[in-house]
């Protein structure tokens, strides 16, 4: 697990994107529709999440479909749970 995952999680917009993706895969356009920011800003946040390996992207024709990378999300969750329980 990399530090980039925690840096990516520190931003409220990226947190919301992950919440949306927890409900199922979405295209970049569908995600952008949920925010009052530019499409370019949403794209930036998606790039940060991809680089942190928290989401994966797959091209579908003219669209890119995003989904949670559950393996990395589970790793982060396990790490946080160990911290909360006082274990290393």
For residue 28, the domain's CATH number is 1.10.10.10
pTM, whole model, 2 decimals?
Answer: 0.85
Looking at residue 71, what is its pLDDT? 86
Instruction: State the residue range of the domain holding 68.
Output: 3-84
* Tens of pLDDT, residues 55-69: 999 999 999 999 999
* 65 beta partners: 27, 58
Sign of torsion, CA 6 10 11 13? Answer: positive
Evaluate if residue 2 carries a pLDDT over 80.
no
Evaluate if residue 52 carries a pLDDT over 80.
yes
Whether residue 42 contacts residue 29, with contact meaning beta carbons closer than 8 Å, is answered with no
Evaluate if residue 88 carries a pLDDT over 70.
no
Pair of tokens at residue 26: 């979405």
- Provide the domain count of the chain: 1
Evaluate if residue 1 carries a pLDDT over 70.
no
**For the chain, the helix, strand and coil percentages under 3-state DSSP, each to the nearest 5:** 60, 15, 25
* Tens of pLDDT, residues 4-22: 888 999 999 999 999 999 9
């Amino acid at each position: 697990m990399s530090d980039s995952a925690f840096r990516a999680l520190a931003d409220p917009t990226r947190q919301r994107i992950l919440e949306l993706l927890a409900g199922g895969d979405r295209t970049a356009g569908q995600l952008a529709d949920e925010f009052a920011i530019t499409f370019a800003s949403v794209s930036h946040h998606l790039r940060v999440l991809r680089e942190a390996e928290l989401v994966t992207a797959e091209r579908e024709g003219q669209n890119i479909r995003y989904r949670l990378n559950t393996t990395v999300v589970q790793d982060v969750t396990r790490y946080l749970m160990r911290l909360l329980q006082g274990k290393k």
